[in-house]
C-alpha cells in the first residue's frame, strides 16, 4: 500500500491577497478557484509537484458556523495560530531574499538548525507561518 500527501489546507481571510502572495511571490501555479455559498477555495501548487495541492480556504469553511465560531477563528488566524506550511527549497538564502524583497513579514532570517536544515520563516498575508528549509549539504 502506497500512501501519499494529496492536499493540505491553509486558512486565509482575503483570497485575493493570498493569491497574489502564493502565486506571484512564491511562484505556485493556480489549479482551481471555486466559490460556494459565499465562500471561496483556491488551490495552488508547485509545478514540480503536480500531485500535491495547497487549498487556500476560508477560516471557517462551514456556511452554518455560528457568528461566535467565525469570530473565534478570525481571531486565531489574526494571531497566526491556525496552520503553517513547510516548503523545501534548494537555496534557502536566495528564497529568503526573493520573499523578503516582495515585502513579506520576516519571522526568521536564514539559520542553520540543529536538526539538519537551513531555514527561514515568514508570515503570509493572513498571518500563517511559512517555513522554507534546505537540507544541509545541498
Q: In what order do the strands lie in the sheet with 39-45?
A: 7-11, 53-57, 39-45, 29-36
Tell me: pLDDT of 137 over 80.
Answer: no
pLDDT tens-place string over residues 18-76: 999 999 999 999 999 999 888 899 999 999 999 999 999 988 877 788 989 988 988 88
In this prediction, residue 49 carries a pLDDT of 96
pLDDT value, residue 138: 67
pLDDT value of position 136: 87
CB 138 within 8 A of CB 93: no
pTM of the model: 0.89
pLDDT exceeds 90 at position 83:
no
9's CB contacts (< 8 A; 6+ apart) are 54, 55, 57, 61, 83
pLDDT at 20: 96
Look at residues 9, 40, 22, 16 and name the one whose alpha carbon lies nearest to residue 30: 22
Q: Is the pLDDT of residue 135 over 80?
A: yes
Residues 95-111 have pLDDT tens digits of: 999 999 999 999 999 99
- 6-15 confidence digits (pLDDT tens): 999 999 999 9
Inform me whether the pLDDT recorded for 87 exceeds 70: yes
Amino acid at each position: 500500500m502506497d500512501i501519499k500527501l494529496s492536499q493540505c489546507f491553509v486558512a486565509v481571510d482575503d483570497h485575493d491577497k493570498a493569491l497574489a502572495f502564493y502565486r506571484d511571490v512564491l511562484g505556485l501555479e493556480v489549479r482551481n478557484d471555486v466559490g460556494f455559498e459565499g465562500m471561496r477555495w483556491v488551490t495552488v501548487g508547485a509545478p514540480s509537484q503536480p500531485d500535491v495541492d495547497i487549498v487556500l480556504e476560508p477560516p471557517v469553511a462551514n456556511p452554518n458556523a455560528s457568528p461566535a465560531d467565525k469570530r473565534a477563528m478570525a481571531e486565531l488566524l489574526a494571531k497566526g495560530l491556525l496552520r503553517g506550511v513547510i516548503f523545501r527549497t534548494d537555496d534557502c538564502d536566495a528564497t529568503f531574499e526573493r520573499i523578503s524583497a516582495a515585502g513579506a513579514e520576516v519571522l526568521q532570517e536564514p539559520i542553520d538548525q540543529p536538526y539538519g536544515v537551513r531555514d527561514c520563516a515568514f508570515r503570509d498575508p493572513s498571518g500563517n507561518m511559512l517555513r522554507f528549509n534546505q537540507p544541509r549539504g545541498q
